[in-house]
Amino acid sequence: MHAYRSHTCAELRPDHVGQTARISGWIHRKRDHGGLLFIDLRDHYGLTQCVLEPESEHFETLERLRVESVVTITGEVIARSADTVNENLPTGGVELRVKGLEIQSEAEELPLPVFGEPEWSEEVRLKHRYIDLRRESLHARIIKRSQIIDSIRRRMVEEGFTEYQTPILTASSPEGARDFLVPARLHPGKFYALPQAPQQFKQLIMVSGFDRYFQIAPCFRDEDARADRAPGEFYQLDMEMSFATQEDVFNVIEPVMKGLFEEFSEGWAVPDEHFPHIAYKDAMQWYGSDKPDLRNPIKMSDVSDTFRGSGFKVFAGMLERNPKIQVWAIPAKTGGSRAFCDRMNSWAQKEGQPGMGYIFWRETEGGLEAAGPIAKNIGEERTEALRVELGLEAGDAVFFAAGDPSEFAGFAGRARDVVGTELDLCEKDTFRFCWIVDFPMYEWDEDNKKVEFSHNPFSMPQMTAEEFLALDNPSDDELLAMKAWQYDIVCNGVELSSGAVRNHRPDVMLKAFSYAGYGQDVVEEEFGGMLNAFRYGAPPHAGIAPGVDRIVMLLCNQENLREVVMFPKDQQARDLMMNAPGTAENKHLRELHIRTVVPEEKK
């Protein structure tokens, strides 16, 4: 018999009754029932109940051992009585009567419990992650993560892609976040950077004549933590394809995502339809966000004309004074009560707004009646026209947000989310995908009073190269109206990735950068490697990079990435378990020809 196990803790079944078996694992919990000692032994695969009588030579030893001690138990497989069968456990029909015991490792008093999985502080969980990972739910999520990545690889290969690895030590990236720098010992005063993404390398792979690339790629960005963004490092499904349009990327990624989510949805619906395409401008107007959660059916609309010249002087005056001002309506089916409208008004005030205008409709003896100050001010005709336009009935309401959309869209989007949630209008147990398309090529940088790239500087404009090169000193307004071949994929309000049709023409790239105020010398200095490669024949190419961590987070129904990453950092980007980052010894700093200057603490 094997020194440690003949079976795992998930294998024993009634067919094994009468056999001698050996299992090894952690003592999950102990129970003393009328003199009999029951031990639940756990390994990676599952759990088996072991039992021994007081007269057993191992009784006192097992009674003394703390939970999470590691032992090897040898014994006879016996059937449980009918009234003690555990239907919720694969091994619940049998137990192991202890005959032999070997202690592999005794556990000290635990800093956090494993059995029962009670809530525990994040600091303790991350400091002792190796114990936290023993907990059934987290252990299962990490296994599921591995299965999801395996499925992604299989699906990409089936789509005709080949996996290639790109460098980890590289040059600074144009991705936009802060780099992690690595001092180069052989080149004093110079630094490598950890890749924010394999962006330039995957484009160079296309220039090198490879056709369809993918990689489960590690990415490193010195960013602050959020629930949906891990500090320091993350993984993405990086892909690129040659001679490809935007639609080609969509046609590859949609079946991969749809099939992946169907495989691991665990009962959640994945609608069998093409992901809707929503223009960026429409997404901001309808949902107040370019990451809309389509499970919420509420779609906002511009109702400025309803208030223009009306008796509601607050909105009418704003519209008259400033052409940028708009009034948006947030329809609220079933929200037509004074109590709910007052709650929304209070919520808006907590958000820093003066309040939230509303109209609600109720059935009276005289028929349908509109209530609220706004209805009285704009009059019956405008109110009724608004109701019909929004498709509202008795028992419904509408809320309003007014101002410059560039300033209030986010607030309006949050209000939409609150209304949908509070009124229980949102779909349950469903994954709703969409593509956000037609991003603006440029945006206005208010701080520097200039046009700047809005999304990705290496994207193709939505015009032919010849049309773009023929532009003659376009105005700021013309540049701000220009759209790019850029796209995001969003699921349930979570942005999974950004992608683009790449700008593969050096002449187009240089001109695109010049409109954002970057001279040729700057572009040659910063991105010369890729630019030079394009000068020797580059195919049109496009790609995208869905975030693996966010995909796993959605499929595990979690709201924090730290619940689906094996060894995450805390919110200050610290590894509490390994005590990183740490200080470097002076001899190491001398080898690297660098010294540290720690800022003085503010008094």
Per the DSSP assignment, residues forming a β-bridge with 269 are: 430
Question: Strand, coil or helix: what is 485?
Answer: coil
Separation CA 451–CA 460 (nearest Å): 17
CA-to-CA distance for 525 and 528, rounded, in angstroms? 6
pLDDT for residue 231: 83
The full set of domains in the chain, from first to last, is 14-105 (2.40.50.140), 296-426 (3.30.1360.30), 440-483+505-538 (no CATH)
Residue 185 backbone phi and psi in degrees, to 5 = -60, -40
The pLDDT value given to residue 172:
78
Integer CA distances (angstroms), 46 to 85, 113, 292, 558, in order: 16, 18, 40, 23
Q: DSSP H helical segments within 456-518, as ranges? A: 465-469, 476-481, 506-515
The pLDDT assigned to 601 comes to 75
How far apart are alpha carbons 106 and 21 in whole angstroms? 22
H helices within 159-295, ranges in order?
199-207, 246-264, 280-287
Residue with tokens 């049998």: 94
Q: Is 448 helix (H, G, I), strand (E, B) or coil?
A: coil
Which regions of the chain are under pLDDT 50?
Answer: none
Please give the distance of CA 170 from its chain centroid, rounded to a whole number. Answer: 26
DSSP-H helix ranges across 351-404: 373-378, 380-390
Q: Which among 354, 352, 341 is positioned nearest to 423, based on CA atoms?
A: 341
66-99 in b/e form (b: 16+ CB < 10 A) is ebbbbbbbbbebeebeeeeeeeeebbbbbbbebe
pLDDT at position 526 is: 81
* DSSP-assigned letter for residue 14: G
Cβ–Cβ < 8 Å for 283, 405: no
Give the per-residue pLDDT at 441.
Answer: 95
Please tell me the distance from the alpha carbon of residue 60 to that of residue 176, in angstroms, as a whole number. 62
pLDDT of residue 597: 87
pLDDT of 570: 92
Say what the pLDDT of residue 98 is: 97
Pairing of strands 494-501, 541-544: antiparallel
